[in-house]
């Protein structure tokens, strides 16, 4: 015969033992366990950051998501759109990016596209030095305009002066 009274007592002892173990595990604090502040972070959805200089808006950054680790002066971005207010105005878009606040350096990646009134650039990654207003990459680039297509590797551009230089393996096609 099965002794149900004995089974109930054994089950009760097992449940109480598991509860004691659970309480011990959630309240236990090891002296060797430390929280690394690099894991602490804040995040925002639909970020819009406006940068002004001399009371004029110089650029507007939009991102679908922004993560800001507490221990770093960087913002990690997803779904990036950057509007540089210059003559001509430029709009940069990319899948992700990183903005180093102290250095004033923005790194865009995951297929970067730059639109201007004269055409557009396409590259894999791009860095923008916000302090000196220069963009650069070592990746392959394509520049397309109304009657012109230029391909090459590497790009250096001064946004203020509008001067653009493609570094090497330059091929140009002019359409009549």
Q: Where are the domains of the chain?
A: 42-139
Q: What is the pLDDT of residue 172?
A: 92
CATH 2.60.450.10 assigned to 42-139? yes
Q: Can you give the pLDDT of all 176 residues of the chain as single tens digits?
A: 566 677 777 777 777 887 776 666 666 554 443 444 445 678 889 999 898 888 999 899 999 999 988 777 889 999 999 999 887 889 999 999 999 988 999 999 989 999 988 889 999 999 999 989 899 999 999 999 989 999 999 999 998 888 889 999 999 999 88
d(Cα 60, Cα 90) in Å, to the nearest integer? 11
Name the token pair of 19: 């509860």
Three-class SS of residue 23? helix
Cα distances (angstroms) measured from residue 153 to each of 10, 78, 134, 164: 74, 25, 17, 13
Rg (CA), the chain: 28
Handedness of CA 95, 88, 159, 104 (dihedral sign): negative
Q: Pick the closest to residue 135 from 97, 101, 102, 108 (CA basis).
A: 108
pTM of this structure: 0.71
Which H helix or E strand runs over 69?
strand 56-69
């Amino acid at each position: 015969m099965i002794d149900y009274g004995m089974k109930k007592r054994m089950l009760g002892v097992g449940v109480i033992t598991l509860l004691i173990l659970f309480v011990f595990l959630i309240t236990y604090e090891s002296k060797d366990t430390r929280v690394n502040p690099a894991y602490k972070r804040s995040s925002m959805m639909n970020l819009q950051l406006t940068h002004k200089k001399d009371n004029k808006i110089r650029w507007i950054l939009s991102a679908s998501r922004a993560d800001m680790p507490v221990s770093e002066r960087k913002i990690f971005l997803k779904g990036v759109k950057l509007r540089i207010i210059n003559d001509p105005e430029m709009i940069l878009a990319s899948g992700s990016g990183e903005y180093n606040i102290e250095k004033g350096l923005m790194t865009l990646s995951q297929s970067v596209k730059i639109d201007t009134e004269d055409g557009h650039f396409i590259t894999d990654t791009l860095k923008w030095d916000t302090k000196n207003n220069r963009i650069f990459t070592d990746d392959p680039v394509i520049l397309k305009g109304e009657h012109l297509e230029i391909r090459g590797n590497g790009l250096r551009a001064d946004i203020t002066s509008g001067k653009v230089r493609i570094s090497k393996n330059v091929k140009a096609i002019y359409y009549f």
